[in-house]
């Protein structure tokens, strides 16, 4: 379906042409003076310069040519603006088409294209902490948004499962339990099925080992263990399997709490088999060169405004690092999925890393020249006081603890306000808490830092997730009391509140498209905040259920029904859903 603004622009361009002027001047914009008009065209002002006459004369001539059926107001005003209001008939026809089309008639321009969204970024053996919230929920939203526009989407968590943290755990385990068969090079039997550690033990082993990194002897052991693991030492692979076996179910569990789901749970380790071939290829092409014992890929370009260090492919100790596995992962993705686009959602402090590997991938022919590579670097979530988020004892807060805090806060409200029957408390609480958490985050531009403010995010009024849910729930209850509404056509006389709501509805497609093109879920939030505001205003100011004119009532109902469906679609793209009651 054509965008409303494009349709009006086409009409305006035709009017310019009919009046004898260049059609290109007929660009229409949403009015910046909603008190005066809904749309406006300032083209006569520019045209006046070319045609050397008064702008108002052109504006008048063009206004004459516009079709009166489409507009309830066409005004040429000094010095030469054309102000427009849409007619009921025109707007109704447009909304009716949106209502009856699939997904509101929004064009699926991603059809036939594949996008990989690399997000989440969890590291095995380390519990998810609050730093993992943003990449998980921004990535999930961007993935859903791409899917909505018809892309074939593959969300890949790209687990950190292959680096030094693995060597640290192995080294620490060896110090604690040197007699385990995993460390005996002569052992040829089967290794025990049972893990030598539980999840909570593992969560203690890793930080202990990590704190010993400054001890040169221990660090050396950990590096060697990492290297040997990557070389395929049997006993170490078996420990690695245990680490994965213990860690993954817990990661799944927490991402499930956030309603974040990955199509692929691949990790750095899965890229490992692609490394030797890739290195050979880059050497042959002359991209990989020796530099003080390491193998590097220079990526600096003439005109660089900042220092651009080379991408390190193999360290002097022979081990592969972050950049290596990321490049090898691209080899795998291109081979298996041929994506047109790869989107990476991580902390923006990783900017340089992605600039380096994107350059290397293009120069080295790992991806095609036209493959889109984008890094969505997000800012930090701080505490309500604007300072880095810390637990009371100064540690890093676990993601699960943050989710629990929000859930408990919301549950108390749900219980206290007797919102739902006891049996529905949990489900309602979870939905509201998730909306509070996600909307609180996603309503900020991804690159910006923001302050986590539990009470503000969970408030039922203001620009919050719960407010959006509340609007949906209110509409649902009106619809439920009315009866079957799904088939009712849009037929509403546009009183001012209805008209604002109708205009807001027409902006769904453009808002979602802009959010996708700039990787900004915050644009979806801004849009639904406006839409929810218009819907609220409309049903407060309009007698709907008590309206005696049945045809009119049906028109009202169909209008709020459409608003509800758009709101529900948008919150699904943000990654949450509405309860039945609130």
Give the DSSP H or E segment for 117.
strand 114-118
Binding mask 38-77 for ligand ARG (x = CB under 6 A): ----------------------------------------
Query: 298 with 188: CB under 8 angstroms?
Result: no
Binding status of residue 267 toward ligand ARG by CB under 6 A:
no
C-alpha to C-alpha distances, 443 to 138, 274, 331, 345, 464, nearest whole angstrom: 10, 39, 35, 16, 8
Stretch of 118-126, 140-148, 371-379, 406-414 lying at the interface with ligand ARG (CB under 6 A)? 118-126
- Quick one: 123 or 444, whose CB is closer to ligand ARG? 123
Binding status of residue 127 toward ligand ARG by CB under 6 A:
no
CB of 490 to ligand ARG, least distance (A): 45
Query: Of 121, 139, 167, 196, which lies in the binding site for ligand ARG, with binding defined by CB under 6 A?
Result: 121
- Cα–Cα distance, 420 to 435 (Å, whole number): 17
Binding status of residue 262 toward ligand ARG by CB under 6 A:
no
- Cα–Cα distance, 134 to 136 (Å, whole number): 5
* DSSP assigned state of 383: P
- Quick one: 123 or 428, whose CB is closer to ligand ARG? 123
Query: Of 165, 269, 346, 443, which lies in the binding site for ligand ARG, with binding defined by CB under 6 A?
Result: 346
Binding status of residue 344 toward ligand ARG by CB under 6 A:
yes
Query: Of 9, 13, 83, 123, which lies in the binding site for ligand ARG, with binding defined by CB under 6 A?
Result: 123
CB of 446 to ligand ARG, least distance (A): 15
CB of 180 to ligand ARG, least distance (A): 28
Tokens of 505: 């509805």
- Quick one: 158 or 242, whose CB is closer to ligand ARG? 158
Binding status of residue 326 toward ligand ARG by CB under 6 A:
yes
Binding status of residue 565 toward ligand ARG by CB under 6 A:
no
Which residues, 6 or more positions from 388, have their beta carbon under 8 angstroms from its beta carbon? Answer: 380, 382
Query: 285 with 364: CB under 8 angstroms?
Result: yes
- Quick one: 8 or 254, whose CB is closer to ligand ARG? 254
CB of 251 to ligand ARG, least distance (A): 12
Binding status of residue 339 toward ligand ARG by CB under 6 A:
no
- Helix, strand and coil percent figures for the chain, each rounded to 5: 55, 10, 35
CB of 274 to ligand ARG, least distance (A): 14
- Quick one: 48 or 125, whose CB is closer to ligand ARG? 125
In 3-state terms, what secondary structure has residue 41?
strand
Query: Of 160, 446, 466, 561, which lies in the binding site for ligand ARG, with binding defined by CB under 6 A?
Result: 160
CB of 573 to ligand ARG, least distance (A): 22
User: What backbone torsions phi and psi does residue 313 show, to the nearest 5 degrees?
Assistant: -95, -50
- Cα–Cα distance, 69 to 223 (Å, whole number): 76
Stretch of 117-125, 238-246, 303-311, 403-411 lying at the interface with ligand ARG (CB under 6 A)? 117-125
User: What backbone torsions phi and psi does residue 522 show, to the nearest 5 degrees?
Assistant: -60, -25
Calculate ∠ Cα 129-131-133, nearest 5°: 85
Counting residues that bind ligand ARG (by CB under 6 A) gives: 8
CB of 77 to ligand ARG, least distance (A): 54
Query: 67 with 11: CB under 8 angstroms?
Result: yes
Query: 7 with 95: CB under 8 angstroms?
Result: no
Identify the bridge partners of residue 388 per DSSP, sorted by sequence position.
Answer: 382
Interhelix angle 550-574/496-506, rounded to 10 degrees, is 40
Stretch of 116-124, 174-182, 462-470, 496-504 lying at the interface with ligand ARG (CB under 6 A)? 116-124
- Quick one: 254 or 410, whose CB is closer to ligand ARG? 254
- Quick one: 42 or 114, whose CB is closer to ligand ARG? 114
Binding status of residue 118 toward ligand ARG by CB under 6 A:
yes
- Quick one: 327 or 582, whose CB is closer to ligand ARG? 327
Length of the chain: 582
Binding status of residue 158 toward ligand ARG by CB under 6 A:
yes
**DSSP state string for 251-282:** HHHHHHHTT---SB--BHHHHGGGHHHHHHHH
C-alpha to C-alpha distances, 490 to 195, 234, 273, nearest whole angstrom: 62, 68, 58
C-alpha to C-alpha distances, 284 to 224, 287, 533, nearest whole angstrom: 29, 8, 61
Q: Which residue is nearest to ligand ARG (CB)?
A: 121
Q: Which residues bind ligand ARG (CB under 6 A)?
A: 118, 121, 123, 158, 160, 326, 344, 346
């Amino acid at each position: 379906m054509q965008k409303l603004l494009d349709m009006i622009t086409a009409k305006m361009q035709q009017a310019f042409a009919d009046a004898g002027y260049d059609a290109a001047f007929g660009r229409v914009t949403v009015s910046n003076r909603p008190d005066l008009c809904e749309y406006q065209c300032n083209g006569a002002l520019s045209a006046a310069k070319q045609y050397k006459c008064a702008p108002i004369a052109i504006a008048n001539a063009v206004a004459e040519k516009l079709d009166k059926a489409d507009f309830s107001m066409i005004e040429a005003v000094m010095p030469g603006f054309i102000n427009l209001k849409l007619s009921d008939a025109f707007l109704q026809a447009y909304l009716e088409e949106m209502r009856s089309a699939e997904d509101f008639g929004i064009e699926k321009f991603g059809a036939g294209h594949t996008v990989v969204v690399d997000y989440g970024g969890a590291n095995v053996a380390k519990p998810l902490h609050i730093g993992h919230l943003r990449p998980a929920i921004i990535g999930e939203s961007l993935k859903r948004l791409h899917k909505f526009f018809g892309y074939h989407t593959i969300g890949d968590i790209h687990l950190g499962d292959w680096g030094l943290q693995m060597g640290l755990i192995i080294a620490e385990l060896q110090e604690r339990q040197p007699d385990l068969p995993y460390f005996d090079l002569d052992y040829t039997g089967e290794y025990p099925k049972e893990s030598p550690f539980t999840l909570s033990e593992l969560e203690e082993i890793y930080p202990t080992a990590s704190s010993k990194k400054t001890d040169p002897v221990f660090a050396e052991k950990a590096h060697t263990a990492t290297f040997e693991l990557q070389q395929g030492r049997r006993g170490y692979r078996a420990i690695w399997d245990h680490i994965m076996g213990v860690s993954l179910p817990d990661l799944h569990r927490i991402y499930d709490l956030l309603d974040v789901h990955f199509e692929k749970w691949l990790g750095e380790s899965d890229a490992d088999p692609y490394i030797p071939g890739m290195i050979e290829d880059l050497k042959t092409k002359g991209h990989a060169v020796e530099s003080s014992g390491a193998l590097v890929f220079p990526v600096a370009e003439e005109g660089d405004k900042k220092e651009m260090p080379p991408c390190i492919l193999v360290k002097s100790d022979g081990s592969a690092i972050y950049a290596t596995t990321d490049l090898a992962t691209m080899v795998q993705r291109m081979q298996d999925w041929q994506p047109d686009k790869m989107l990476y959602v991580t902390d923006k402090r990783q900017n340089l890393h992605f600039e380096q590997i994107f350059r290397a991938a293009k120069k080295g022919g790992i991806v095609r020249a036209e493959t889109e590579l984008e890094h969505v670097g997000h800012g930090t979530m701080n505490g309500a006081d604007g300072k880095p988020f810390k637990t009371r004892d100064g540690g890093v807060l676990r993601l699960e603890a943050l989710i629990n805090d929000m859930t408990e806060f919301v549950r108390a409200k749900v219980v206290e306000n007797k919102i739902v029957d006891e049996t529905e408390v949990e489900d309602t609480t979870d939905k509201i808490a998730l909306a509070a958490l996600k909307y609180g985050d996603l309503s900020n531009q991804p690159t910006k830092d923001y302050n986590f403010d539990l009470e503000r995010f969970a408030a039922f009024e203001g620009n919050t997730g719960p407010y959006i849910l509340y609007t949906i729930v209110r509409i649902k209850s009106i619809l439920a009391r009315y009866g079957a509404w799904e088939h009712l056509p849009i037929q509403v006389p546009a009183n001012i509140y209805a008209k604002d709501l109708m205009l807001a509805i027409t902006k769904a497609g453009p808002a979602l498209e802009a959010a996708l093109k700039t990787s900004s879920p915050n644009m979806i939030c801004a849009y639904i905040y406006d839409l929810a505001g218009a819907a609220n205003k409309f049903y407060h100011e309009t007698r709907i259920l008590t309206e005696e004119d049945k045809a009119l009532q049906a028109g009202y109902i169909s209008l709020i029904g459409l608003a509800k469906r758009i709101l529900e679609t948008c919150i699904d793209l943000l990654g949450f859903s509405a309860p039945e009651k609130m």
